[in-house]
Structure 1
Amino acid sequence: YEQVIKASHCFNLLDARGAISVTERQRYILRVRTLARSIAQSYVAARAKLGFPMAEPHLRDEVLAQLKAQVEAEAKAQNTEESK
Structure 2
Amino acid sequence: YVQGVDNVYDLNFNGREGAEKVTYGDVFLQAEQEYSRHNFEFANTAMLLRHFEDAEAECKALLAAGQPASNDNSPMHKLVFPAYDQCIKASHVFNLLDARGVISVTERQSYILRVRNLAKACGEAFLLTRAGGLAA
Per the TM superposition, whether the score is higher than 0.5 is yes
- 2: CA distance between counterparts of 1:5 and 1:42? 15
Q: Of 116, 121, 128, which residue of structure 2 is paired with 1:38?
A: 121
Relative to the length of structure 1, the TM-score reads: 0.56
Secondary structure of residue in 2 paired with 1:46: coil
Q: Of 5, 28, 32, which residue of structure 1 is paired with 2:111?
A: 28
Aligned residues: 51
Are 1:3 and 2:86 matched, yes or no?
yes
Structure 2 gap ranges (5+): 1-83
- 2: CA distance between counterparts of 1:5 and 1:23? 22
Show the 5 A alignment for 1:2-81: 2-47=85-130, 48-49=133-134, 51=135
User: What does residue 17 of structure 2 align with?
Assistant: none
| Superposition CA RMSD, Å | 1.5
Larger relative helix fraction: 1
- 2: CA distance between counterparts of 1:46 and 1:2? 16
Q: Deviations over 1:4-59 (max 9, x none)?
A: 1100110000000100100100000000000000001001023344x17xxxxxxx
Structure 1 gap ranges (5+): 53-84
Q: Which runs of 4+ in 1 moved over 3 A?
A: none
Identity across the alignment (%): 61
